[in-house]
Structure 1
């Protein structure tokens, strides 16, 4: 196996490994939730995070949490997809719409399946619906992860790629933290949201690569 093929093997092997790991992590949280083994952990983390509450910090947390809202993701997905389409990156535009739109639907189905009520703690904002898994956490991992993946593929320069990945990761973590701080999610909701969001993202990336390979192969055959 030459160097190029080895890198390809490692890359796709890593995608599959991440998909399996995060899927396993999600079901581990589900098992712990059903066995009622997360209550002590959730309470301890909530007590620590909500001990930070003050007026100025709460305003910043509300702003950050909006970066993980359905309204923000919908508007941003439309704008980014239009930009990609204008630049004739049609495959990327379809990928971005697919991963975010179906990811949101997937979260809604999971919430309806588990029907976990929201924490009975100090809620700093109003939030309806069920709690598990956190939609903000799942959606932020999918959205910012997809943006990071596209930038990694479309821009040049290791530093630019590294900065984009670090920025995306930081935003995702902060959004998850705000959900605990604001009293609308248990920490286990956030961890589960990150886990299943990551699994969905890596699954979609693999589907994108398969579709990309299939399209290129068919185009080569028709051009002969």
Structure 2
């Protein structure tokens, strides 16, 4: 009995701890940006990553970065949510829509708040709007992270869960890398996007668990 109680306690404590950690990380990047302490780091990473530029690699990078565009993530979120609704997983559909839709609005609000201009070093594609935090990085972390969380909960089989999580993690990292390679974001934009995206996703997961608990408790009362 003690073991069963300990597992949820450790799990929820870990979620909250990581939420605080990623929130702290985001504000550390903001503080370094305001104090102009991150310029040397940004330039060093950009110089290294853009030394890899060649035509064939650029085409692949554009293809990867498009898998975190607003258009793709919106369409993919709608398709996945519809699939969940058809399977009568209404709570999961609401979680997925809320995490991604509100997360996107949150990113737009942060961009307007900081108004950081994009780097003008070697842009390989055209990209409008402000730079900080990276919308592709934040959006990919929320979308692929939420998808990984759902696969962990809904799929049966340890290997299926592990492969899904590994694929999601690789996709998130690759998207962040493409934004630097293509010259449309500073590395600090990407780190900030990952950090606040992770914090938002963890918050949504905690709210999902709380709603799930309240709903199950209500059903238990109704059946008794």
* Bin of the TM-score, shorter chain as denominator length: over 0.9
Unaligned runs of 5+ in 1: none
The structural deviation recorded for 1:145 is 0.1
For residues 144 and 36 of structure 1, the distance between their equivalents in structure 2, rounded to whole angstroms, comes to: 32
The DSSP-based 3-state class of the residue aligned with 1:60 is helix
The structural deviation recorded for 1:220 is 1.3
The structural deviation recorded for 1:219 is 1.4
Matched residue, 2:90: 90
Matched residue, 1:72: 72
The structural deviation recorded for 1:202 is 0.2
Alignment of 1:113-128 (within 5 A): 113-128=113-128
For residues 17 and 164 of structure 1, the distance between their equivalents in structure 2, rounded to whole angstroms, comes to: 24
Query: Displaced runs of 4+ in structure 1, greater than 6 A?
Result: none
Matched residue, 1:4: 4
For residues 18 and 157 of structure 2, the distance between their equivalents in structure 1, rounded to whole angstroms, comes to: 24
2:41 maps to 1:63: no
For residues 13 and 221 of structure 1, the distance between their equivalents in structure 2, rounded to whole angstroms, comes to: 27
The structural deviation recorded for 1:147 is 0.1
What RMSD, in angstroms, separates the aligned Cα atoms of the two structures?
0.7
2:186 maps to 1:181: no
2:143 maps to 1:143: yes
Residue deviations 1:153-176, cap 9 Å, x none?
Answer: 001111111111110000000000
Unaligned runs of 5+ in 2: none
The DSSP-based 3-state class of the residue aligned with 1:184 is coil
